[in-house]
Structure formats: C-alpha cells, structure tokens
Amino acid sequence: MTAKLVWQAEEVIRAVGGQCLHEQTWEAHGVSINTRTIQPLDLFIALVGGARDGHDYVAEAFEKGASAAIVSRQPPQVAADAPVILVEDTFTALENLGRAGRQRCKADIVAVTGSVGKTSSKEMLRVMLNAVGETYANEGNLNNQWGVPLSLSRMPAQARYGVFELGMNHAGELTGLSQQVRPDVALITTIEAVHLEFFASLDAIADAKAEVFLGMNANGAAVLNRDNAQFARLAAGAKNHGLKKILGFGRDGKADARMLNYAATPDGSEIEADILGRKINYSLTTHGEHLALNSLGALLAAVAAGGDLDACVAALAHYRQPAGRGGVQTIILAEGNITVIDESYNASPAAVRAAVHVLGQKTPPVGGHRILVLGDMKELGTEAHALHAGLASDIIKADITRVFCCGEMMAYLYEALPPNLRGAYAPDSAELTPHVISALHAGDIITVKGSHSMNMNLIVDALKALGEPALKSHKLAS
C-alpha cells in the first residue's frame, strides 16, 4: 500500500510563512534537499550548511523538473518569475513544513530509538503496519535534525500509520525530534555502550533516549526492552513524563511480548513467543537471536499502535534486512562457494558481539572456515581501547578461524587475539581487502562489520565481485 504525497502551493506557503512575487498554482508530489536524488514535481528546499549552499543548485533542480523551490534569496541563473517561495531561513522553513506535514496527517505514529537495532525495528514495523493500512516510514538514515523534518514533510496526509527512526549522539537532540514527530508509541530497542565519547555513563545514554517521551501525551505507549539493565530507569522516565502505558519485550518472565523459544534455521529463525497472553509461532528470514528479539519489540509496538496481531505476524515472513545490516549472500566461485554476511553499515560493541554470535552458530561445509573482518567502532571515547580489545573473548568462544582487522582501534583487538586467529591487519579497509581475498577458501563464511566511516562496504563489494550470486541469497547452514 503506497499513499501519494501532494502539497498544494498555498499549503506550503502558509506552512513556511513565505513570500511570493508571483501567483503560485503548482503542486508538489515530493520534497527534496538534494538535486542528485530529486524527482520531477518535487519541491526543492535550498538548505545552507558546511561548504554547500543549496541556492547554487536551484537552477539544476528546475531543470530536473522541480515544481517549486524554497529559498532565502534569489538564486543564480533562475528566472525572476520562477515558482520560488522566499523565507528568512530555509532550514526553519523545512522544520515548519515538517510540522505542517505532521499536523495534517492523522496517522498513528511510532517512534523508534535505541542504541542498536533502530533501523531493523523500523523496517519491521513498516512491513507489518503496511499489511494493515497505508504506512509511511522515513528512508535510510534520515533520523537526525534535518532528516526528521524532511521525512515528516514527505508523509502523505492520508497515511494510516507513520514510523520514524530517531537518532542522536548528544543529550538534548531527541527532545526536539520527538516534539516534531509527536509519537503515539515510542519503542526503545535497548541501551548499550554507544556514543560514549559524548556520555559519561549508560545511565546518561538512557536519560537521553528517554527524551523521546517528551513529544508524547499521556495516552501514548512506551515499549521497552525488559532484558536490558536500563529498563527500570526508562520506565521511570516514561512515568515521569506522564505516560501510563508501559510495555516490555524480551525473555524476562514479566515481558508483555516474551520470547519462549528461538531456533536458528538454514533460512533464518523460528520464534515461539507469548504476546499479550497469546502463544504465537512465526518465522524470520534473518539470522540472529538479537533480530528475533527486535521483532518482538516491533510486534508489540505495532499492536500498541492499533495493528492487528495476526496480520503483523504474517507480514514478518516478508521482512528482509536493509543493506549492510546482516544480509547474507552466497557467491558462486569456480572452485566452490563462499558466503558473505554483510554487516558493513555500522558497529558498536553490542552489535559486533551479536554478529560474532551469529557467525559462531554457522557451520561451514568441509574445507570452509568462519572468517571475521572488522573495522573500528567509533564514538567510544576513553573506553575505546578496552572495548575493542574486549571483543577477543567473544571471538574465541565463537570458534572463529581467522580475524582480519583495520583501523587504529581495531589494532588493540588484533593484539589481544591469540596468534593463530590473526589473519591480517591494515590501517584501512582498502588496504585490508587484498589480504582478505587472498586468504579465502571454498566454503568460507565471512562476516564484515565496522562503523560506517570505515567503509567496510568496499570489502563486501570486492567479495561479491569475485563470482556470481546464488539464487537463494539468504540461505545459510546453521
């Protein structure tokens, strides 16, 4: 189900408080801040920031079919009678358009935040709620100060559900985002050692994540991880902000969505759960108990938002992991197959441990090995050395055959590993790639993971370029 976005000229002008030199009669079917991805009939907003000034690209936006542009001054090489809206500040205009988008849409809104698992949970919610009614969710990583209002401005007025991932790495950031989104349900996936460069403790991270409740009214629902050590602190935060409905998910006996049994399968996972008193069995095409637990939180949030449990459970069978977040691809080579588990999008200590556990559960065919390729985990502050080196015990326990590392911090892990596990070390992913490729054998299962800035996707791309993809890319022996 796909709803259509339409902004009439007068709606936009009223929302942003803009001025026009000429009569405006256009309509926009999208909102864009980037001419590289702009579509015909998009409204272009000329943001100014860093080394780029969106006003320099307004003419290009019109050439590519933009219906109108929001500017703070007359852009170069644009006709005086072009459909432009003049505002004092274009970023403020974006925020105001986002608020107007939220105001005109009567959808039930779910906000998703947490240290890890945000995007997977958001995409699960998108799939599930779309089986119930027209659902909009923010794309990719549009979860920050400009991504959230842009996403709100793109939400169709007739959508029944909206799902918004909200990210932060400093205290105070979620307050404004939540007040713009005004969620009916807030899902906090977990609290882990992430962004420690900017926080003194896990308690401080939990308090920052609890800011998501500030945009909610008393009728809203908080969905929290009951297995997490910060559950009580988050629940208290929700109560302090007036929320009366607090739901929990996990293995804990008091969880409203409780994992009863998890089993890894060649095609993914089988889950048995008790959800609000109902015994449910369902399958995922994803590998890892952490993703199964994410699915419980997403199911609970979907039901709290008004979704039908049976329809949502059935829809989960169609969920696929976003690129770089655990997708599995078997590559056919002349001498045999290799299997790549692509975790290259981002990394944190908790996420790396989960990926290591998943790899450790996989059984390579005869002659194959479990290979782990890791890049630095960023924003860990003064604990970075110890948090990287501390992964060694999990890797040893998972019976990994070889470990390849790149980045300044991963050097500490490399040195902490027994010599027989050390594959190769390099300063960056580009230099590490040939070491990984030269060490491959038929039957190997390779997990690649690191923070986004480490460009670990270069290694994934090089591995995939070695051969042809197998037809069933997600199937993997357990």
Each residue's pLDDT expressed in tens, for the chain with a length of 478 residues: 455 889 999 999 999 999 998 888 999 999 999 999 999 999 999 999 888 999 999 999 999 999 999 999 999 999 988 999 999 999 999 999 999 999 999 999 999 999 999 999 999 999 999 999 999 999 988 999 999 999 999 999 999 999 999 999 899 999 999 999 999 999 999 998 877 778 889 999 999 999 999 999 999 999 999 999 999 999 999 999 999 999 999 999 999 999 999 998 888 899 999 999 999 999 999 888 999 999 999 999 999 999 999 999 999 999 998 888 888 899 999 888 999 999 999 899 999 999 999 999 999 999 999 999 999 999 898 889 999 999 999 999 999 999 999 999 999 999 999 999 999 999 999 999 999 999 999 999 999 999 999 999 999 999 999 998 886 544 444 4
Distance CA 162, CA 155 (A): 8
The pLDDT assigned to 473 comes to: 46
Do residues 337 and 437 share a domain? yes
Secondary structure letter of residue 201 according to DSSP: S
Among residues 24, 62, 55, which one has the least CA distance to residue 40? Answer: 62
Please indicate, yes or no, whether residues 180 and 286 belong to a single structural domain of this protein. Answer: yes
Residues 62 and 133 in one domain: no
Q: Is residue 342 within a helix (H) or strand (E), and if so which, with residue range?
A: strand 336-343
Out of 288, 318, 348, a domain closes at: 318
Nearest alpha-carbon partner for 109 in 117, 98, 93, 97: 98
| Cα dihedral 254/258/261/262 (nearest 10) | -130
Q: Are strands 135-137 and 68-71 parallel, antiparallel or unpaired?
A: unpaired
Q: Is 478 part of a structural domain of the chain?
A: no
Domain extent, residue 439, equals 327-469
Q: Are 55 and 71 in contact (CB under 8 A)?
A: yes
Residues 235 and 348 in one domain: no
* DSSP state at residue 159: -
Answer yes or no: do 149 and 268 share one domain.
Answer: yes
pTM: 0.88
Does residue 71 lie in a domain region?
yes
306-327: burial string, b at 16+ Cβ within 10 Å, e else: ebbbeebbebbeebebeebbbb
Going through 228-304 in order, the beta strands assigned E by DSSP cover: 245-250, 257-265, 268-275, 278-284
The pLDDT value given to residue 156: 96
- Pairwise CA distance, residues 306 & 397, whole Å: 42
- Evaluate whether residue 429 is within a structural domain: yes
Judgement on whether residues 188 and 269 belong to the same structural domain of the protein: yes
Q: What is the pLDDT of residue 1?
A: 42
Residue 95 inside a domain? The answer is no
In this structure, the chain runs to a length of 478
Residue 145 placed within a domain? yes
Placement of tokens 């050692």 in the chain? 193
198 lies in some domain? yes
Q: Determine contact, residues 186/210, Cβ cutoff 8 Å.
A: no
Mapping DSSP to helix (H, G, I), strand (E, B) and coil, where does residue 186 land? strand
- The answer on 331 and 307 residing in a single domain is no
The whole-angstrom separation of Cα 329 and Cα 423 is 22
Q: How far apart are CA 175 and CA 216, in angstroms?
A: 11
- What is the token pair recorded at 233? 């602190």
* Nearby residues of 238 by Cβ (< 8 Å), 6 or more positions away: 186, 210, 213, 222, 224, 246
Helices (H) and strands (E) in the chain, counts: 16, 24
The per-residue pLDDT for range 139-157, each reduced to its tens digit, is 988 999 999 999 999 999 9
What pairs with residue 331 in β-bridges? 338, 469
Q: How far is CA 311 from CA 20, 142, 174, 368, 418, in A?
A: 47, 27, 31, 40, 49
**CATH no. for residue 79?**
3.40.1390.10
Q: 301, 318, 335: which is the final residue of a domain? A: 318
357 and 425 together in one domain: yes
Structure tokens at 389: 């080196």
CA 143 to CA 166: how far, in whole Å? Answer: 5
Asked if residue 344 belongs to a domain, the reply is yes
Answer for the pair 444, 368: CB distance below 8 angstroms, yes or no. Answer: yes
Mark whether 226 and 117 lie in a shared domain. yes
* pLDDT for 23: 85
User: How confident is the model at residue 29, as a pLDDT?
Assistant: 96
Q: Determine, yes or no, domain membership for 158.
A: yes
Query: Are residues 366 and 299 located together in one domain of the fold?
Result: no
201: phi then psi, degrees, rounded to nearest 5: -160, 170
Last residue of a domain, one of 62, 90, 118: 90
| Nearest-angstrom CA–CA distance, 6 and 42 | 10
Tell me: do 119 and 84 sit in the same domain. Answer: no
Look at the chain and report how many structural domains it folds into. Answer: 3
Reported as a single tens digit per residue, the pLDDT across 180-227 is 999 999 999 999 887 777 888 999 999 999 999 999 999 999 999 999
pLDDT of residue 3: 57
- The reply to whether 307 and 364 lie within a common domain is no
Please name the residue that has the structure tokens 């008193």: 277
The whole-angstrom separation of Cα 96 and Cα 153 is: 9
Residue 254 is part of a domain; what is its CATH number?
3.40.1190.10
H-helix segments, 9-89? 9-16, 58-63
CATH code where residue 365 lies: 3.90.190.20
Beta bridge partners of 426: 406
* Alpha-carbon gap, residue 390 to 418, rounded angstroms: 13
Amino acid identity, position 113: T
